[in-house]
Amino acid sequence: MLFIGETLRDIPQGGWVSHENIRSIPRDYASEYVMGKEGK
């Protein structure tokens, strides 16, 4: 919950509103964030 809560601040508010399946955003964003960190 803490990890997701922190990532929410980095997601543009418009992204949440315009996205049809809001529940998929935290998972997708978290996955990209973690993979991006490991990739670097």
pLDDT in tens, 19-32: 455 555 566 666 67
Six-digit token string for 13: 């508010």
Question: What does the pLDDT read at residue 1?
Answer: 47
- Cα-trace Rg, the chain: 11
Six-digit token string for 28: 């997708």
Task: Pick the closest to residue 30 from 19, 3, 2, 17 (CA basis).
Answer: 3
* pLDDT (mean) for 9-38: 60
Q: Where are the beta strands (DSSP E) in 1-40?
A: none
Question: What does the pLDDT read at residue 15?
Answer: 55
